[in-house]
Amino acid sequence: MNTYEKDQSKIQIHLQDICRRNISRLQNLVNQVMDYHRYDQKNVKHYTLEQINDIITEVVQDLSPVAYTQRTKITCDLHKNIPMFKMEKESFRRVFLNLLNNAIKFTENGTITVTSMFQNKTITISFKDTGMGISKDKLTHIFEPFSCASRETKGNTNGSGLGLSITKKIVESYGGSIKIDSHPNTGTDVVVTIPITTNQDEF
Ligand SMILES: Nc1ncnc2c1ncn2[C@@H]1O[C@H](COP(=O)(O)OP(=O)(O)O)[C@@H](O)[C@H]1O
Ligand SMILES: [Mg+2]
């Protein structure tokens, strides 16, 4: 291969990389937009009896390699008394994937602590990180779709800004709530609460 051909092949590899990244971003955005609208269509859900700790564990296992590349350690403190309840498993997987993904994305060389507990008929799950935190300004609009995509921070471009609004929709569809406590340069604590009704037949 002569120098010209070598240069051409380098350019091709570079362009392929750019294409791949953009396709993946677009795929991500399409998935998130579809998810966002799916949650308005109540009839497509499939409920099964699940243990929330198992879903958290799966998600932590899936994302640990990504945290590792950021030199961030994930610690779990999952209480054993969490009752199983009827849910659409995929929706909770999405919730935890998004929250843990955010914690990893905005934490470098830090720690993330995932906690679950059950008290007063309520399951509380917290994702606490020691990352860059969120400004008060941003925090006010954080659950609005597209309000703060991650490209605004750190040059990180793989966020659509839809994750938290989808997460909130899902959590609220179970009668639950989501709260974020965050301080710039200190970290963020995202707390999800789900009330557990003794009569689960309505699902
Ligand atoms: N754990 C966190 N630490 C710092 N900033 C966060 C965290 N979670 C969310 N954010 C901020 O909230 C924004 C919106 O999050 P999200 O709705 O999940 O969208 P995305 O991750 O696609 O940007 C992020 O872009 C980021 O600015
Ligand atoms: Mg996100």
- Look at strands 73-78 and 111-119 and give their pairing: parallel
State the Cα–Cα distance between residues 167 and 46, nearest whole angstrom.
18
Residue closest via CA to ligand 1's atom 7 equals 102
Is 61 exposed, middle or buried, given 0-12, 13-18 or 19+ CB atoms closer than 10 A? Answer: exposed
Residue type, 91: S
Domains: count for the chain: 2
pTM given for the model: 0.82
Rounded to the nearest angstrom, the distance between the alpha carbon of 191 and the centre of ligand 2 is 15
For the chain, the average pLDDT equals 87
What is the predicted pLDDT for the residue at 202?
Answer: 46
What is the average per-residue pLDDT within 104-132? 97
The response to whether residue 103 sits with its C-beta less than 6 Å from ligand 1 reads yes
Burial 141-171, CB ≥16 within 10 A → b, else e:
ebbebeebbbeeeeeeeebbbbbbbbbbbbb
Residue with more model confidence, 34 or 134: 134
> pLDDT for 46-95, tens place per residue?
899 999 999 999 999 999 999 999 999 999 999 999 999 999 999 999 99
Same-domain check for residues 32 and 48: no
Same-domain check for residues 13 and 84: no
Same-domain check for residues 109 and 134: yes
List all residues 6 or more positions away from 167 whose beta carbon is below 8 Å from its beta carbon: 94, 95, 98, 99, 178, 192
Ligand found nearest the CA of 165: 1
Q: Which of 66, 101, 102, 135 to mutate to test the pocket of ligand 1 (most atoms within 8 A of CB)?
A: 102
> pLDDT for 141-167, tens place per residue?
999 887 665 554 444 445 678 899 999
* Residue 100, CB-side half-sphere exposure with 13 Å CA sphere: 28
Same-domain check for residues 10 and 75: no
Residue closest via CA to ligand 1's atom 26 equals 150
